[in-house]
Amino acid sequence: MREYSGKSVFGGIAIGKISVYKKNEQQVKRVHIEDCEKEKERYNRAVAQAIDELKELYDKAVKEVGETNAAIFEIHQMMLEDDDYKESVHNIIDNQEVNAEFAVAATGDNFALMFSSMEDEYMKGRAADVKDISERLVKILSGGSESSISGSEPVIIIADDLAPSETVQLDKNMVLSFVSVGGSSNSHTAILARTMGIPAMIGTPIPLDESVDGKQGIVDGYNGVIYVDPDEDIIEKMMELQKQDIEKKKLLQTLKGKENVTLDGKHIKLYANIGNIKDLLTVVENDASGIGLFRSEFIYLERDDYPTEEEQFKIYKTVVETMAGRQVIIRTLDIGADKQCDYFKMDKEENPAMGCRAIRICLTRPEIFKTQLRALFRASAYGNLAIMYPMIISTEEVKQIKEIEETVKKELTEQGINFGNPQIGIMIETPAAVMMSYELARMVDFFSIGTNDLTQYTLAIDRQNTKLDDFYDPHHPAVLRMIEMVVENAHKAGIWAGICGELGGDTELTGQFLKMGVDELSVSPGSVLTIRKKIRETDTSAL
Ligand code: PEP
Ligand code: MG
């Protein structure tokens, strides 16, 4: 047995095979194609090959495990022949002019989401099957290249580091845990691991070679340790911890449907953060009262080219419709710093965290901004959508944004396109915005404090730098005082203020935030019930 220690970014125990992540292998790229008929033919051929493979697997399984257990491969064949599935893939190829791999992956995700949200347990179980057949097809279409998580069992991924664009494209059902050599607690990769609610570690000096690849592993996300080829006594101990974990999660389930109210009667909105439409399921499962931060830039990061207005509109519409009247706060794109998109063709910068990112890109490239705003305003007609702008530093920026909003609304009206009346908010994540919060509060409907960047810019510590992780202290009094000041200024103007940075999910501070009068906390979906428990146990009058 060997063990390696790192820094935990999400608790929990994962037991399974280790897979060394090989860059760029398991991504399904969205590629624009000219000849849709040819692409549909490719898809049809892949289906025929997949059916042949499944027939072989069925025959083998009948011999090895009997007819009843082999039946799953027959079900998969039937699913592959299903007209709805085929129609969906063909439609995506035709309407979006995209490659078959992308159309299959999108169909697989949509169908799996649909199945898993059904009441019937049997139908819920079909979600994994539809994912399975989709993966088989993608593998065939992309030349059958073996990716590090292409097998049929979920694995512990270890990597040097994972860029947000890579993490977001991993098949979440196949990942038990993330362990990275580099990374930092506040990087977007760590945030994504928290969103997925799986044990994760960063800064772990583990070799990325055959000495660990394919080996049995255990990640103890509570203590930040990964065991390779664990001994019997460690396996036993970890299995026991895992059992306790499951029990704790079960207990938390009893809080579903309960109010987010303190012992002394203070109510707070408890929302969830998402980066992807696929995270919606966990939001619903964990009973969040809304979405406090949809990091829309992940829509851009998943693609090879700018997402169109129509593509974005469909995504935003699905999210607000699924949330059925509950508030959905969509942040406009926050590209830049660690979230780089090649097709934006940004100039290389010495200091990207302080460079052209987020609202600065939007204000200097209004066409990209307007496309997103059109999609957002259109989707606002279908539910309770709010728009939020990142990285604000001045009232002047908000004025400019409002002018662009007005132009977009005027154009939509002239074109006879319907739109709603979304709440407009800004992120408070720069010290400048904190200091201007009195004035800014009079221009918007709400504030959401981005403590990840606010800590970075207040303490002058790069949130991406592994070596500075110990200096990065979001509990620093300077940060906490800023939060208090922002809430006060929001309330003076009669608007609400929430926290959507990672600090919102820190149970050590829940009491203080409630005492300060924070109106909303938006946390990773897996933390919603933990925070609800904390809120319900707090008596702010005793603090
Ligand atoms: C933040 O900065 O706190 C925030 C929520 O935004 P992001 O982490 O995406 O920069
Ligand atoms: Mg931020």
What is the dihedral angle through the alpha carbons of 63, 66, 68, 70, rounded to the nearest 10 degrees? Answer: -30
Instruction: Please give the pLDDT value at position 170.
Output: 72
Distance of CA 16 from the midpoint of ligand 1 (Å)? 31
Instruction: Please give the pLDDT value at position 147.
Output: 44
Residue 501 in contact with ligand 1 by CB distance below 6 A:
yes
The pTM score is 0.73
Distance of CA 429 from the midpoint of ligand 2 (Å)? 6
The strand pairing partners of 157, in sequence order, are: 19, 178
Instruction: Please give the pLDDT value at position 120.
Output: 77
Which strands form 7-10's sheet, in the order they lie side by side? 2-5, 225-228, 216-220, 13-20, 155-159, 175-180, 200-202, 7-10
DSSP letter string, 163-206:
-HHHHHHS-GGGEEEEEESS--TTSHHHHHHHHHT--EEES---
pLDDT tens sequence across 286-344: 999 999 999 999 999 988 899 999 999 999 999 999 998 999 999 999 999 888 888 99
If one residue of 271, 453, 520, 522 were mutated to test the ligand 1 pocket, choosing by the most ligand atoms within 8 A of its CB, it would be 453
pLDDT tens sequence across 444-467: 999 999 999 999 999 999 998 888
Instruction: Please give the pLDDT value at position 149.
Output: 53
Q: Which residue is catalytic, options 90, 188, 341, 362?
A: 188
- 176 vs 180: CA distance, rounded Å: 13
Q: Cβ contacts of residue 430 below 8 Å, gap of 6+?
A: 391, 392, 393, 453, 454, 457
- 315 vs 363: CA distance, rounded Å: 23
Residue stretches of the chain with pLDDT short of 50? 24-25, 145-148
E strand or H helix at 61: helix 36-65
Instruction: Please give the pLDDT value at position 165.
Output: 57
Helix 100-116 to helix 83-96 angle, to the nearest 10 degrees? 130
* 32 annotated active-site: no
* 500 annotated active-site: yes
Instruction: Please give the pLDDT value at position 307.
Output: 96
Instruction: Find the ligand nearest to 292 CA.
Output: 1
- 421 vs 321: CA distance, rounded Å: 16
